[in-house]
Amino acid sequence: MSALDFQLPARLEARVPAELRGAGRDDVRLMVSDLATGSVTHAHFRELPAFLRKGDLLVLNTSATLPAALTATRANGEEIALHWSTPLPAGLSVVEPRQAQVVAGETLRIPDGTIELLAPYRDSKRLWIARFDIALPVIGYLHRHGRPIAYSYIADRFPISAYQTVYARNEGSAEMPSAGRAFTRPLLACLRKSGIGLARLVLHTGVASLEEHEPPYDEWYEVPLRTAERVRRTRAEGGRVIAVGTTVVRALESSVDGHGEVVASKGWTDLVITPERGVRVVDGLLTGLHEPKATHLQMLMAIGGDLPVRRAYAEALAKDYLWHEFGDLHLIA
């Protein structure tokens, strides 16, 4: 299957949070791909309950975002951005020296400490296994010295609160699981009142700036027993399981037993979901708009089908939807 490739105009890159563009977090657009009819509807995110059914279950990722960007200094005095991505055993970490050619054994100075780059992570040309020499645990250190990861399309520096969902509670993500950013507490209450269930799991995301054709790497997840039970009950009663974000799809599909049932589990997942692999428990997906050739687009096609996803993206481009973590949303259900 050919990759979904397209040109993303700079004007469609969301540069500031929705609350600075409009009335609040939920002031974003919602494109709905209806799997039953094949239609595409253009709506507002506050209308989300109208596109769900009583008995559906929304599954949320409660991972909280860390201020994972640091400034590091090389031996020659050059300053580079360094992004912490994920922890490893033995006190090691995966990091990304941004747009810098580094070598094994190189030591970078950071505020109140150093980082030694030990070896490339797997076969990546971008990610490195590193050892921090600091006086604090890494998470405490990031809170003291780090800032949120932000890319060139972001117009300004925003506080870490701008990169959290309202239901975030478990620290560990290098970048925000952004599909849930538009939810507000009143909207969550409205969903519950409409008979739509809410369940929670955790998947801690690493850095998102993958190289072209680079598959997702291992990420830590936990599907609690209560969530597994609610997913099984929802499916047994004819409801739909709607994942809020590709991270939720990855966690749920990694937590399936030999009979195709979701069970409680936790650990590291390297699952890559493609149309050929398919999905076993997820019936729909709420997600942002993904960049050209992104591996996540293959997951969307696994859930919604090749042609419906291509059609939706053509409409999103034609109707000026906004991309990235502060952008608009796409419901496939």
Specify the pLDDT at position 180: 98
What pLDDT is recorded for position 1?
Answer: 40
Nearest Cα neighbor of 49 from 177, 232, 193, 235 is 193
DSSP secondary structure letters along 21-40: HSSSTT-SEEEEE-TTT--E
Q: Which residues of 122-153 are buried (b: 16+ CB within 10 A; e: fewer)?
A: eeeebbbbbbbebeeebbebbeebbbbbbeee
| Cα 250-16-288 angle, rounded to 5 deg | 25
Length of the chain: 333
Closest residue by Cα to residue 204 from 154, 158, 169, 157: 169
Tell me what pLDDT residue 230 has. Answer: 98
Grouping H, G, I as helix, E, B as strand and the rest as coil, residue 312 is helix
pLDDT at position 30 is 98
Q: Which three-class secondary structure state does DSSP give residue 2?
A: coil
- The rounded distance, in Å, linking the Cα atoms of 232 and 178 is 26
Positions of E strands within 225-295: 241-244, 265-269, 284-288
pLDDT tens-digit profile, the chain (333 residues) = 456 889 999 999 999 999 999 889 999 999 999 999 999 999 999 999 999 999 999 999 999 999 999 999 999 999 999 999 999 999 999 999 998 999 999 999 999 999 999 999 988 889 999 999 999 999 999 999 999 999 999 999 999 999 999 999 999 999 999 999 999 999 999 999 999 999 999 999 999 766 555 667 899 999 999 999 999 999 999 999 999 999 999 999 999 999 999 999 999 999 999 999 999 999 999 999 999 888 889 999 999 999 999 999 999 999 999 999 999 999 999
Which backbone phi and psi does 50 adopt, to 5 degrees?
-70, -20
Compute the C-alpha angle 121/122/128, nearest 5°.
Answer: 10
Q: Return the H-helix or E-strand segment holding 223.
A: strand 219-223
Look up residue 224 and give its DSSP letter: -
Sorted by sequence, the CB contacts under 8 Å of residue 171 that are 6+ apart come out as 63, 64, 66, 139
Count the Cβ atoms, other than its own, within 10 Å of residue 185. Answer: 9
| E strand or H helix at 60 | strand 57-61
Pairing of strands 128-134, 113-120: antiparallel
> Roughly what angle, to the nearest 10 degrees, separates helices 296-304 and 246-253?
70
